[in-house]
Structure 1
């Protein structure tokens, strides 16, 4: 029996640095597109990002692994936009930071799970019959985007719902920004129809599996599993040593990932301070 992947604080710090890199890159692309007076501010090993009031990339990430941050200036920067400060904090981060945030009036509003797969282990992941997955080019971007946005605004109801509930327009713009930031897109086809889309990014040997969505009419037919298998194969081919996926607790996405051998590494708490 294979032992579960153990997540040390060092591994968690590495994954959180990759998350900082991802959010920073996409946030900068968002600001360049929209012209919003946004910012990406380094903060004690993490980053504070503002890409617009309705952007999924407006948040603070990666804290708790490189000292305790000075928060006054960051809180003032968000307040200048009339925006709350939303901090995603890994439970393996410095516990003194959680206490500090509580003392400053931050309120716990949600959780998300970070799962990882040791890519040195042999894989038996294969795409289910009848589903084709390939990388998706610019020529079909609008069609790909429509499927992913539709999947996002009609989320699977299994498990704990996402803390954030973004409108379709915000999700669409966020996907355009992730494309501009260079994330690789994948498209899944079932019975000749574009049934799902997903994203993929590599940083520091970590394969970040992001943005996966299946059109409601094609759910429960293995589309997610097929997109996962394709991205894992590419991650191994690229020499990555670990793949990471973020899900909601108890969700179908978490169930699919664990069936494919992913282990639950740690949980991020979302703590919010209103302006």
Structure 2
């Protein structure tokens, strides 16, 4: 664990948000290829991206906005029309270290604050010790067990934290599974499994870019919780990220959730919060 709190300035937040933009862009582009041309869209937005992957997808959002200038009304008009044509609201995830003028402009246009999410970080240096819970093997997950791994991850999304602030989002299980497949195929994720007596009882993933290790999902079967599986999956990913030259690991959680509590126990620090602002399709604005 690290003793000194990790300080996040605007430059570091911008770097993390660029990694998030890259992740969303790759996953959404994979969904477009799967569904055929014209099924969705990706539009650059002042350093961020407006993404529509497919109906009800968790990749439908505006991400990374706030570090490359303030979008004008014409640009926002175009984005809102693109979502409205698909009957979808516009969801903007805005870091609190972004240009404050953007939040002012969005609220003037009718966006409403619906929730928050926290971004936590862990500085990577030196070697990180792996852990093996008794009777459980933590290993890199191969293609031969992909379906088992996917089932474990999808189960985690289907049974979210009940501790802390509840998520404002719910997604159909089949859409979650499709999004995970797209992210794995296009975003270069490394997969990890926790195996007990030949069965996958825990799963996790890791993506690295620009020295940042994104912890992009983890889940444990209810029957194997409180046995150190999550801590072991986290330790394996941190060890691999450090060995691969990353200097920072990041994870996104719901405020006050069990996931946030678990990673803070392992030495992660709260870096910044994203405000989630939503405008329903067809809503007019006063400019």
TM-score by length of 1: 0.96
Which residue in 2 is equivalent to 1:93? 98
- Closer, same or farther in 2 for the Cα pair 1:258/1:122, shift >3 Å? farther
Which residue in 2 is equivalent to 1:53? 55
SS at match of 1:65: coil
Which residue in 2 is equivalent to 1:193? 199
Q: Distance in 1 between matches of 2:9 and 2:234?
A: 25
* Shift of residue 120, structure 1, vs aligned partner: 2.1
Which residue in 2 is equivalent to 1:247? 253
Whether the 8 Å CA contact 2:128–2:235 is kept in 1: the answer is no
SS at match of 2:270: strand
Q: Distance in 2 between matches of 1:125 and 1:143?
A: 23
Q: Distance in 1 between matches of 2:113 and 2:223?
A: 35
Which residue in 1 is equivalent to 2:78? 73
SS at match of 1:83: coil
Q: Distance in 2 between matches of 1:131 and 1:108?
A: 42
Which residue in 1 is equivalent to 2:285? none
Whether the 8 Å CA contact 2:127–2:242 is kept in 1: the answer is no
SS at match of 1:265: strand
* Shift of residue 222, structure 1, vs aligned partner: 1.3
Q: Distance in 1 between matches of 2:163 and 2:129?
A: 26
Whether the 8 Å CA contact 1:154–1:216 is kept in 2: the answer is no
Unpaired runs of at least 5, structure 1: none
Instruction: Render the CA deviation track for 1:36-92: whole Å, top value 9, x for unaligned.
Output: 621111110000000012111010000011100131111111111111100001011
Which residue in 2 is equivalent to 1:232? 238
Q: What aligned pairs does 1:123-138 form with structure 2 within 5 A after superposition?
A: 123=128, 126-138=131-143
Q: Distance in 2 between matches of 1:134 and 1:174?
A: 23
TM-score by length of 2: 0.92
Q: Distance in 2 between matches of 1:125 and 1:59?
A: 35
Q: Distance in 2 between matches of 1:169 and 1:236?
A: 34
- Closer, same or farther in 2 for the Cα pair 1:193/1:174, shift >3 Å? same
The equivalent position to 1:109 in structure 2, one of 114, 136, 146, is: 114
Which residue in 2 is equivalent to 1:142? 147
Which residue in 1 is equivalent to 2:164? 159
Q: Distance in 1 between matches of 2:150 and 2:189?
A: 13
For the pair 1:12 / 2:13, whether they are aligned, the reply is yes
Which residue in 1 is equivalent to 2:46? 44
The equivalent position to 1:261 in structure 2, one of 248, 260, 267, is: 267
Q: Distance in 2 between matches of 1:111 and 1:93?
A: 14
Q: Size of the alignment, in residue pairs? A: 275
Which residue in 1 is equivalent to 2:24? 23
Instruction: Render the CA deviation track for 1:221-246: whole Å, top value 9, x for unaligned.
Output: 21111110000000000000000011
* Shift of residue 155, structure 1, vs aligned partner: 1.8
Q: Distance in 1 between matches of 2:141 and 2:128?
A: 24
